[in-house]
Structure 1
Amino acid sequence: MTDDTKVCPRCAETVKGAALVCRFCGWDFSLPAHVGPRRQLTGQQLGILVLALFAAVPLGLWATRLISDARLPDPVPVALPALEREFDSDPKAALEHWRGRPMLLSAEVNAPYGSELLLKTINVLPVRAQMRGQVYASEGEKVVLHCRGIEIGGIFDDKPQPLDCSLVEH
């Protein structure tokens, strides 16, 4: 090796002293000797990475749902009119009692509304139940919904709103 040449730390080939990159292996001489050059992902590696990400997201969501289902207590059966009376008499106490508590809610359908069901009530305004996915139920049909909890709010501010429901029977 002369003053005009240098040895590549990766492939040990002799290259010109002014070289910025090794002509044999692509080593970047501006990097410290202990750091290798940045490698490009091949198309196959990139494809595998994308597939792994697409598989990991649904798997993570499924596992989260499975874990949360395992921690939930058994659903409590309740008829919508009884739930309404409880909310009419003491909304704060009723909300505290039912929030985050799974229930099997018996009700009559006022109208299907996309991914929600409007349920007939003893009062004038219907209760809007948020459903998991599209629901196929007819007006006047008696249904039992498995709901993960309840909130007050939405379009009808003072009405109980069952959350994350699925149709058990109709």
Structure 2
Amino acid sequence: MPSSIRNAIQAFLYDVATFFRNISYRFEDAADWAADIPAVGYYIAYALYKTADYCYDVNYVVKDLMWGWLDLCDWLDHVWDELGDLWDDLDTLWDYAHYTLKGLVDDAVAIATNALNQVAVAYDKAVDAWNYATGWLTDRANEAWNKAVWAYEQIAAAVTASAQEIYAWVRSIPAEIKAFVDGV
């Protein structure tokens, strides 16, 4: 509650209480004066004292009302402060939830991105291994092929040489036989 309204109502109630207190003093003064009146003064004084007591009671009632008003204002201020604290707590909770969830989502995205990068690295390594393996196998196959060709050429050359020697020997057999026959 705005303090200007609180203070204005408090001042008004205080002024009303003060008014009734001052009136009660006036009635007491009048009762003191009326007590000196012969014959009826006692009755007038009694009535004026009773009126002064009522005015003084009204003074207390208005003061109690003023203190009740101040207590109500304090209570409303306290409630307002508590609502403000509650709002701050809710705002803090919202910020925490928002940034925590955002952080969790960001972390999940970062982890997923990292996992994707690791998969890409693993794929690249697998491709490199495949290329190395196929290259190695190709190299070994080429070496084996070259050795087979060399062995074939060696065997073919040996067979050819042997065949030529056998052919030459076979061709020389009749000459040897003829020489043998001639030599006998």
- Give the number of the structure with larger relative contact order, counting CA–CA contacts within 8 Å between residues 6 or more apart: 2
**Structure with the greater alpha carbon radius of gyration:** 2
* Greater helix share, structure number: 2
TM-score range, shorter chain: under 0.3
* Greater strand share, structure number: 1
Normalised TM-score (structure 2): 0.18
Normalised TM-score (structure 1): 0.19
